[in-house]
Structure 1
Amino acid sequence: MPLETSNYGEEEKYTVVSGDTLWGIAKRFGVTVENLANENGLKKEMVLIGQRLIIPGAAEISEVEVVGAADSFTVEFEQRGKPLVLEVPYGSASDYQKKSGQKVTVIHKNGAVISVF
């Protein structure tokens, strides 16, 4: 189901992690660098660790169970008995492996995780 901005606020913003680039973030979420930069008022193609970015376009919110890391940049969740495989920043999949079996809410767009809570 599409995400309603008014209900989730900060959870729908992506937090930049070590190794992220504006180009890499745009590619992961299926948006252009220009669109991502414009949406966030960025003058340069530089992002900082911890920076919160709005990902343009409609996102989805899903109630899921964490299955675990599929590889270094992909995590498998289970949604209503079916697999939901989503991209995460490179190297962060192991953090999800530690949460295997936990039920979480994930906000995602174009096959990539924006946030989990």
Structure 2
Amino acid sequence: MNRRQMTFIILVNALVSLLIVLLVTWIVELRRPDPEELAALYTPAPAVLLAPTVTVPVETLPVVGGDAQATPDTGTTQAEGDETVYVVQAGDSLLGVAARFGVTIDDLVQTNNLANPDFVFSGQRLIIPATGQTASPNATTQPAAPGEPQIVAVESAGNLADEAVLIVNESDNPASLAGWRLEREGGPTYTFGNVQLFAGSSIRVYSTSGEDNTIALYWGQLDPVWRAGAVVRLLDGDGVEMMRQVIP
């Protein structure tokens, strides 16, 4: 083989090698994903944002008088204008507060602009009306036996349309008034039917006529039953006097 043939063979081999390299490179480029497509498919993980921590400065109230100590606001206090203010305690009800101060629930609702008479909360300040149409705490009263229903107030005495006797069961057990009697001493008598009082519930006996329901009973009298100085009595089914109260 002469030099010319050798040179030809070398050139052919070099050309074939170059073509193979170019072909392989082209195939690889065809199979490589487009960077823009990769960018579209890749969804970065959401960054975690840390909320700033708010530091509330604590103010220390000055102590008056060195040895002074904080006194919890409980019980009854006197507000401006000599109004009696009662601070509601845990377990209190509006009915219980009314009974305690000898006023009606309506008086408390109107005086304090209460939207819901069935709801009071611990710490709530209730203004107790200075005057009312209920029996005075100084009235001559024979208390009811513990755990028995009791007369809490005689409301609007002398006004047939509104006068009523409020009877409350302040015990923890239900009570039956079936056969019990409410009477004015020396006057008319009202006999209860099958009336049940749940623990903490109450009922009013109105002197006027009306339709009985779970919270109100109607006596059907034509004239007022109650007046100042009259004695209201509550007797059980056996005729035993359970409570009496003189209307002031």
Same fold by TM-score, threshold 0.5 exceeded?
no
Using structure 2 for the length normalisation, give the TM-score: 0.20
User: Rg larger in 1 or in 2?
Assistant: 2
Structure possessing the higher relative contact order (Cα contacts under 8 Å, 6 or more residues apart) = 1
Higher share of residues assigned strand: 1
